[in-house]
């Protein structure tokens, strides 16, 4: 805890594949944000239209606290934006730059379903 200096020997990829390793480091958090089914549900709901926390709570059936809890990391990653409106907070997807490849992967879901990748 205090005796050990947390020097994670993440030797900063230096090989010819260093760029890819770095890219993975940069992109992983984005995927992680979508790796939870509840957070992904929220993002998919927002891909339809902007919604307030209350709407998200109703649509998902989750506790308000939990919805808010999941929105926090999405916010900090810049995947969603907040716009106070009245006493509600309207959430929206950030942009397409990241969601475009996501859509491509999303379309893959049917293919890989049941591990039946028939390509």
Partner DNA sequence: TGCCATCAACAGTAGATACTGATATTACTT
Partner DNA sequence: AAGTAATATCAGTATCTACTGTTGATGGCA
Which of residues 66 and 100 has its CB atom nearest to DNA in the complex?
66
Cβ of residue 71: shortest distance to a copy of itself, in angstroms? 15
The binder of 110, among a copy of itself, DNA, none, by C-beta within 5 to 8 A per type, is a copy of itself
The binder of 49, among DNA, a copy of itself, none, by C-beta within 5 to 8 A per type, is none
- CA-nearest of 77, 80, 10 to 45 is 80
Residues that bind a copy of itself (CB under 8 A): 7, 10-11, 13, 15, 17, 20-21, 23-32, 34-38, 40-41, 44-45, 48, 58-61, 76-79, 94-98, 100-101, 104-117, 119
H/E element, 118: none
The binder of 50, among a copy of itself, DNA, none, by C-beta within 5 to 8 A per type, is none
Buried-exposed string 73-82: b where 16+ CB fall within 10 A, e elsewhere: ebeeeebbee
Cβ of residue 64: shortest distance to a copy of itself, in angstroms? 16
Separation CA 1–CA 17 (nearest Å): 33
Contact between 105 and 98 under an 8 Å Cβ cutoff? The reply is no
Which of residues 47 and 88 has its CB atom nearest to DNA in the complex?
88
Contact between 33 and 73 under an 8 Å Cβ cutoff? The reply is yes
């Amino acid at each position: 805890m205090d005796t050990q200096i947390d020097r994670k020997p993440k030797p900063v990829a230096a090989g010819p594949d260093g760029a890819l390793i770095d890219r993975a480091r940069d992109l992983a958090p984005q995927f992680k944000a979508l790796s939870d089914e509840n957070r992904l549900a929220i993002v998919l709901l927002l891909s339809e239209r902007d919604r307030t926390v209350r709407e998200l709570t109703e649509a998902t059936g989750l506790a308000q606290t939990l919805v808010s809890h999941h929105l926090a990391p999405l916010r900090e990653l810049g995947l969603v934006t907040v716009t106070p409106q009245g006493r509600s907070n309207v959430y929206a997807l950030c942009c397409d730059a990241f969601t475009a490849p996501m859509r491509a992967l999303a379309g893959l879901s049917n293919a890989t379903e049941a591990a039946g990748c028939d390509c």
